[in-house]
Structure 1
Amino acid sequence: MRVGLQIPRFTWPGGQEALGETFGVIAQRAERAGFFSLWVMDHFFQIAVMGPTEHEMLEGYSALAFAAARTNRIKLGTMVTGVTYRYPGLLVKTVTTLDVLSHGRAYFGIGAAWNEEEHSGLGVPFPPTAERFERLEETLQIAHQMWAGDEKPYQGKHYQLGRPLNVPSSIQKPHPPILIGGQGERKTLRLVAQYGDACNFSLLRVSKDEMKHKLEVLREHCQTVGRPYADIEKTTLGTIRLTRDGRENSLTPDAAIASFRELAAMGIDQAIINMPDVTDPEPFDLLATEIIPAVEQIEVAGR
């Protein structure tokens, strides 16, 4: 089993002047601790569940490019980019650039978008839900075409690309893994089965029983499109606060390992976590010396 780190907040001690260095240090600590991947949200404004709208929020791909320069091994992705944020051809070019400059470490995180406030705030069109899902599917089709090196014109309902040229191509072949965010059973999980390489379930939004059901729905979609279910990387996103002694309702290393083991038994390949105390070196020390080495030995059910 693998463990990833998401960084959803950039409001840290030292303020804005120290933000870049703090972020760089966190990325380096994550790599040294043995995290498999590093993720940032792709939002314009901070989202309510994480803090006030006015709190600091970095642009996702600039932040990942900065992290790529400060690290050597850890995978890098957005959790996740809203399909409305960027024209699809430019988005694929951006992810490809990250993959090339990081020597093949990019994930392509993509979803249907949901935060209307930040769209209206910065003047970005926010179409209805049905249209956003149509745009998501077209973007996934464009991504596959561009990463396959197919330059023929793309003619969709919402997007028309005269020559989807993508040079240089990605380091990872056939392309950076595509993680589709969301857990809708009728649309999102179908898109995962048809176009994706990974899915993500938020442990804040679905219970473990609900997640088991959704995994079965994904399996059914895979059967429908003729895709091996095992080809899809199953990931979760949750929040963990770690301390040596479990003080103040935090998890001890043993409790964290037990939680990861439970997810692996459900078939989860990678548990992505965020940590409220991410600027504190203590949880990274616990992860490096006790938690991640143990979790890497846990077998994932169905693998």
Structure 2
Amino acid sequence: MRLGIQIPNFTYTNGQAQLGDTFAQIAERAERAGFYSLWVMDHFFQIHMVGPAENEMLEGWSALAFAAARTNRIKLGTMVTGVTYRHPGLLVKTATTLDVLSHGRAYFGVGAAWNEQEHAGLGVPFPPLGERFERLEETLQIAHQMWKGDEKPFEGKHYQLTRPLNSPQSVQRPHPPILIGGTGERKTLRMVAQYGDGCNLFARLGKEGLQQKLDVLRGHCEALGRPYEEIEKTTLDSLKITRDGRNGSLSASAAIDLFGSLAEQGIDQAIFSLQNVEDIEAFDILATEIVPVVEKIAVAGR
């Protein structure tokens, strides 16, 4: 089993003047601790679940490029890019650039977008939900076409590309893994089965809720003739890890139990934000007591 770290919060105790140094330090510590992947949100205002909109928020793809320059092995992705924020042809170029410059470490995380506040605030059109899903599907089609090197015109309902040229091509072939965010059973999980390489589900759904989503995904895969085992199943959570599990945090043994239970359900990668991310002790515990054990946990169905 693999572990990934999400960094949703850029409001640090040493202030904005040191933000870049702190973010770089967190990325470097995550890699040294043995995390498989590092993720940032693709938002422009801080989201209400984390803090007030006015809190510091870095643009996601630029932040990943910065992290790529400070690391060597850890995979890098957005959790996830809202399809409304960037024209799909330019988005594929952006993801390809990260993959090339990081020597093949990019994930392509994408979803239908939801935060109307930042759309309105920055003047970005926010179509109705149905249209956003149509745009997401066309974006996925364009991504596959561009990463295949197919330059014939793309004529969609929302996007028209006369020459979807992508040079240089991605290092990862046939393309960076496509992770589609969201848990919608009718549209999102069907798109995962049809176009994606990974899904991301909320750990807070609990065992029964996760199993329902996985069963739905399996059904879509069967309907489309796609091997269910090809899909990387990931979860997203928020944890605090301490030596003794104080104040509602998780000790190393409790964290291992949590990740083990997810692996039993077939979760390949547990991604989580670390609430005490500025605490070096948390990374020390992960490096010495958690990651080496979790890496040996077999994932059901693998």
Tell me which interval the TM-score lies in, with the shorter structure as reference length: over 0.9
**Distance in structure 1 (CA, Å) of the matches to 2:259 and 2:181:** 20
**Distance in structure 2 (CA, Å) of the matches to 1:86 and 1:274:** 25
What code does the residue aligned with 1:283 have?
A
What is the aligned-residue RMSD (CA, Å)?
0.5
**Distance in structure 2 (CA, Å) of the matches to 1:88 and 1:189:** 20
**Distance in structure 2 (CA, Å) of the matches to 1:210 and 1:246:** 26
What code does the residue aligned with 1:107 have?
Y
Tell me by how many angstroms 1:249 deviates.
1.2
**Distance in structure 1 (CA, Å) of the matches to 2:2 and 2:206:** 21
Which residue of structure 1 aligns with residue 111 of structure 2? Answer: 111
Name the SS for the 2:149 alignment partner: coil
Which residue of structure 1 aligns with residue 259 of structure 2? Answer: 260
Q: Deviations over 1:89-122 (max 9, x none)?
A: 0000000000000000000000000000000000
Which residue of structure 2 aligns with residue 20 of structure 1? Answer: 20
Q: Deviations over 1:162-200 (max 9, x none)?
A: 000000000000000000000000000000000000000
What code does the residue aligned with 2:174 have?
P
Task: Please tell me whether residue 273 in structure 1 is matched to residue 272 in structure 2.
Answer: yes
Tell me by how many angstroms 1:292 deviates.
0.4
Which residue of structure 1 aligns with residue 44 of structure 2? Answer: 44
Q: What's the TM-score once normalised by structure 2's chain length?
A: 0.99
Name the SS for the 1:67 alignment partner: helix
Which residue of structure 1 aligns with residue 222 of structure 2? Answer: 223
Which residue of structure 1 aligns with residue 211 of structure 2? Answer: 212
Structure 1 unmatched runs, 5+: none
Which residue of structure 1 aligns with residue 300 of structure 2? Answer: 301
Q: Deviations over 1:205-262 (max 9, x none)?
A: x222111011010000001111000000000000110111111111100000000000
Name the SS for the 1:18 alignment partner: helix
Q: Deviations over 1:110-154 (max 9, x none)?
A: 000000000000000000000000000000000000000000000
**Distance in structure 2 (CA, Å) of the matches to 1:231 and 1:29:** 30
Which residue of structure 2 aligns with residue 153 of structure 1? Answer: 153
Matches within 5 A, 1:151-190: 151-190=151-190
Name the SS for the 1:151 alignment partner: coil
**Distance in structure 1 (CA, Å) of the matches to 2:206 and 2:265:** 12
Tell me by how many angstroms 1:158 deviates.
0.1
Name the SS for the 2:31 alignment partner: helix
What code does the residue aligned with 1:201 have?
L
**Distance in structure 2 (CA, Å) of the matches to 1:53 and 1:244:** 33
What code does the residue aligned with 2:36 have?
F
What code does the residue aligned with 2:100 have?
V
Name the SS for the 2:110 alignment partner: strand
**Distance in structure 2 (CA, Å) of the matches to 1:26 and 1:290:** 18
What code does the residue aligned with 1:182 have?
G
What code does the residue aligned with 2:137 have?
E
What code does the residue aligned with 1:127 have?
P
Which residue of structure 1 aligns with residue 134 of structure 2? Answer: 134
Which residue of structure 2 aligns with residue 242 of structure 1? Answer: 241
What code does the residue aligned with 1:61 have?
W
Name the SS for the 1:207 alignment partner: helix
What code does the residue aligned with 2:138 have?
E
Give every structure 1 segment of 4 or more consecutive aligned residues whose post-TM-superposition deviation is greater than 2 Å: none
Q: Deviations over 1:41-71 (max 9, x none)?
A: 0001000000011000000000000000000
Which residue of structure 2 aligns with residue 194 of structure 1? Answer: 194
Name the SS for the 1:3 alignment partner: strand
Which residue of structure 1 aligns with residue 124 of structure 2? Answer: 124
Which residue of structure 2 aligns with residue 84 of structure 1? Answer: 84
Which residue of structure 2 aligns with residue 285 of structure 1? Answer: 284
What code does the residue aligned with 1:90 have?
L
Task: Please tell me whether residue 6 in structure 1 is matched to residue 6 in structure 2.
Answer: yes
Identity level (%):
72
Which residue of structure 2 aligns with residue 98 of structure 1? Answer: 98
**Distance in structure 2 (CA, Å) of the matches to 1:105 and 1:297:** 22
What code does the residue aligned with 2:35 have?
F
Tell me by how many angstroms 1:15 deviates.
0.9
